[in-house]
Structure 1
Amino acid sequence: MSEFKQTFNSSLGKKLIMALTGLFLCTFLIVHVGGNLLLFKHDDGFAFNSYANFLTHFPPIEVVAWILYLCIIIHAVYALVLTIKNRKARPVGYAVQSKSPTSWSSRNMGILGSILLLFIVIHMGDFWFNYKYQETIGFKEYRTNLATNETTVADYKPEVAGFERSISTENNVEIVRVKDLHTRIQWSFSHLWYVVFYVIAMGAVSFHLLHGFQSAFKTLGWVHKKYDGIVSFIGTWLFAVIIPLLFAAMPIVYYFQSLSK
């Protein structure tokens, strides 16, 4: 037991924990961006609001969510500890600095991580915390004619406390009443400062993963010349380019939509 504790208290142990938590957070990004793509459906937030309700009320997903929050905290704390330790070990910087993008990412992981941590706190406070624990989120009622598949939407005020979601059918019309996170997103992304900060944070995600994804595989020893190219391709194009761009597109699109109203 003491050897196990000693291993994970070492620099290598901390890096292993960071690698494992980091890769878990990468899988979350894939799921999260997939759910956020529902925001681009022209359905007045119907699909996204149903998705948000599912995420916050399906027990297995809730368990995974709490594991996710724990991983974020552990990843951030261990990153801070390793950064401080490295600074103490090398108080004077190198005389010659590499100018490659990956090297820049590696040298600035602390700054990038700090931006991301601030973003996560603000982002979760604005959406997750308000959705779960505040009464600032309203409700929508979606009525879908099952014969024509046409859907109409209206604001809804629950008659009972603690209402979250209901589905019923009346006269061949499906009625879905659900918390309206979509409207909160529209309001948040109508503010230019928030959109700019969001895009900057996605830039930080890009550079953070440009180095972090491949570094995690190296730390875990999952390195082989047959697969290095695949890992590099996925880390660069999927996690450092495509996913950040998809996330950044959301606030930009919603901001310009708010200007046209």
Structure 2
Amino acid sequence: MALTGLFLILFLVVHLAGNLQLLLPDEGESFNIYAESMASNPLIRVVSIGNFAFILIHVIYSVVLTRSNKKARPVNYAVSKASTNSTWASRNMGILGTVILLFLIIHLRGFWYEFKFGELPTAVYDGVTYKNVFAIVSEAYSNIAYVIVYVVAMGFLGFHLSHGFASAFQTLGLNHVKYSPLIQKVGAGFAIIIPALFALIPIVMYIQTL
């Protein structure tokens, strides 16, 4: 869980860096060129397959751990002070993860699947033809319902990261009285900044369509 979680955290940073190009004032040229270069790069293809594998492993192992924990303690404690001993996010990682997974399936169907197998419009830059991924993204983000779903999903992602980031380091034994407070602060900042920037993209693009 920790290793796959940290890999997916790194993926979020890389994915965000690419997606922020959607906000550049060049009518999608930078993003379309970026998307094409990522799709045609053999190394990126391998990483992409690995990313799907890590997501699958992360999901499967979370189910295994949840069932294992329930078997270890089939009867609840007579007195429980979970709210004082743990955060809301840590107690609801399964729910948060499930919502994120459902959103990811919708997101992949709408963008990744269309890029790979759909009939996309094209754009020409310096005599080279590219798939106009920016066009389908713009169309999706012109729908206020999808924008709301996206922003809400990023809220769930933020809560998921607020526990997952620091706990991954703790699970790997990378906690220390000196460094743990810093990891906690970095994790809290990451859990706010990364989802907020992701959410900013559809919000800005929707406003631009008004």
When the two structures are superposed, what TM-score results if normalisation uses the length of structure 2? 0.93
Residue 241 of structure 1 is matched in structure 2 by 192
Larger gyration radius, structure 1 or structure 2: 1
Partner in structure 1 of residue 111 of structure 2: 127
Offset of residue 92 of structure 1 = 4.8
Whole-Å separation in 1 of the counterparts to 2:14 and 2:157: 16
For the pair 1:216 / 2:168, whether they are aligned, the reply is yes
Q: Distance in 2 between matches of 1:92 and 1:252?
A: 45
- Percent identity, aligned pairs only, is 46
SS state of the match for residue 178, structure 1?
Answer: strand
Change (3 A) 1:99 1:50: same
Structure 2 match to 1:157: none
Counterpart pick for 1:70 among 33, 36, 53: 53
* Contact 2:23-2:205 at 8 Å conserved across structures: no
Distance (Å, rounded) in 2 between the aligned partners of 1:67 and 1:229: 31
**Alignment correspondent of 1:109:** 93
Unaligned stretches of 5+ residues in structure 2: none
Residue 23 of structure 1 is matched in structure 2 by 6
Partner letter of residue 203 of structure 1? G
In structure 1, the gaps of 5 or more residues are 1-17, 143-173
Note if contact 2:2-2:172 (Cα within 8 Å) is conserved in structure 1: yes
Of 178-187 and 83-92, more deviation after overlay is shown by 83-92
Tell me if the contact between 1:106 and 1:211 (Cα under 8 Å) persists in the aligned partners. yes
Residue 201 of structure 2 corresponds to residue 253 of structure 1? no
Aligned residues: 209
SS of the counterpart of 1:140?
strand
How far 1:84 sits from its partner (Å)? Answer: 2.4
Determine the structure 2 residue equivalent to 1:51: 34
SS at 1:49's partner residue?
Answer: helix
CA offsets, 1:73-99, max 9 Å, x none? 000011112122223433455544444
Shift of residue 252 of structure 1? 1.1
Q: Deviations over 1:169-223 (max 9, x none)?
A: xxxxx33321000010011111122111111111111111110111111111111
**Deviation of residue 52 (structure 1)?**
0.7
Contact 1:53 1:179 in 2 (8 A): yes
Letter in 2 for 1:120: L
Distance 1:225 1:200, change over 3 A: same
- 2: distance between equivalents of 1:43 and 1:66? 30
CA distance in 2, matches of 1:39, 1:183: 10
Aligned letter for 2:124? E
Q: Shift of residue 117 of structure 1?
A: 0.6
TM superposition shift of 1:134: 1.6
Structure 2 CA distance for partners of 1:141 and 1:105, relative to 1, 3 Å: same
Counterpart amino acid of 1:192?
A: I
Structure scoring higher RCO (CA < 8 A, sep ≥ 6) equals 2
- The residue type paired with residue 160 of structure 2 is H
Distance 2:175 2:5 in 1: 17
- Equivalents in 2 of 1:247, 1:101: separation in Å? 31
**Matching residue's letter, 2:187:** G
Structure 1 residue 102, shift from structure 2 partner: 6.0
Contact 1:102 1:210 in 2 (8 A): no
> Per-residue deviation at 1:109?
0.2
- Over 3 Å counting, the alpha-carbon distance change for 1:55 and 1:93 in structure 2 is farther
| 2:143 is aligned with 1:191 | yes
Is the counterpart of residue 141 in structure 1 residue 124 in structure 2? yes
